[in-house]
Structure 1
Amino acid sequence: MSSTKPIKPSFHTKDVSFVAVMTAFIIGLNYMMLPLVNVKLMDLLVFVSGYSMGSHVGALIGCLVWLVYGTLNPFGFNLYILFATCLCESLFGIVGGFCSRWNLDVPDNLSIRDCGFWFSGLKLGVIGFLVTVIYDFFTNIASGLVAGTSIIAALILGIPFAISHEVSNLLFFTLAGTVLIKIFNNFKVKGGKGER
Structure 2
Amino acid sequence: MDYPSNIAMKISWPRLDSRKIGFITVMTALIVSLNYLMLPFLNVKLMDLLVFVSGYSMGGVVGAVIGFLVWLVYGTVNPFGFNLSILVTTCLCEGLYGVVGGLCSKNCMFNDDVKFDEGEFWYSGLKLGIIGFLVTSVYDLITNVVSGVTAGIGVVNAIIMGFPFAVSHEVSNLLFFSLAGGTLIKTFRKFGLR
| Structures share fold, TM-score greater than 0.5 | yes
How many equivalent pairs are there?
185
Give, as a single letter, the amino acid of the residue that structure 1 aligns with 2:126.
Answer: L
For 1:62, the equivalent position in structure 2 comes to 67
For 1:159, the equivalent position in structure 2 comes to 163
Deviations 1:121-168 (A, max 9, x none): 000000000000000000001110111011011001000000000000
- Is contact 1:52–1:188 with CA below 8 Å preserved after alignment? no
- Is contact 1:67–1:82 with CA below 8 Å preserved after alignment? yes
Shift of 1:185: 1.4
For 1:145, the equivalent position in structure 2 comes to 149
Is structure 2 residue 87 aligned with structure 1 residue 97? no
For 2:119, the equivalent position in structure 1 comes to 115
Match of 2:181 among 173, 177, 180: 177
Deviations 1:68-99 (A, max 9, x none): 00000000000000011001100000000000
Shift of 1:114: 1.4
- Is contact 2:110–2:182 with CA below 8 Å preserved after alignment? no
Give, as a single letter, the amino acid of the residue that structure 1 aligns with 2:38.
Answer: M
Between the aligned partners of 1:80 and 1:186, the Cα distance in structure 2 is 39
Between the aligned partners of 1:163 and 1:8, the Cα distance in structure 2 is 37
1:36 is paired with a residue of what secondary structure? coil
Is structure 2 residue 34 aligned with structure 1 residue 29? yes
Match of 2:46 among 41, 62, 79: 41
Match of 1:72 among 49, 68, 77: 77
Between the aligned partners of 1:101 and 1:45, the Cα distance in structure 2 is 18
- Is contact 2:132–2:174 with CA below 8 Å preserved after alignment? yes
Give, as a single letter, the amino acid of the residue that structure 2 aligns with 1:68.
Answer: V
For 2:3, the equivalent position in structure 1 comes to none
Between the aligned partners of 1:123 and 1:33, the Cα distance in structure 2 is 25
Between the aligned partners of 1:62 and 1:136, the Cα distance in structure 2 is 15
Q: 5 Å matches for 1:10-21? A: 10-21=15-26
Shift of 1:117: 1.1
Shift of 1:8: 8.1
Q: TM-score, normalised by structure 1?
A: 0.90
2:113 is paired with a residue of what secondary structure? coil
For 1:125, the equivalent position in structure 2 comes to 129
Shift of 1:9: 6.0
Following superposition, which runs of at least 4 residues in structure 1 exceed 3 angstroms of deviation?
Answer: none
Give, as a single letter, the amino acid of the residue that structure 1 aligns with 2:86.
Answer: I
Give, as a single letter, the amino acid of the residue that structure 1 aligns with 2:184.
Answer: L
- Is contact 1:107–1:120 with CA below 8 Å preserved after alignment? no
RMSD of aligned Cα (Å): 1.6
Structure 1: which 5+ residue stretches go unaligned?
none
- Is contact 1:107–1:116 with CA below 8 Å preserved after alignment? no
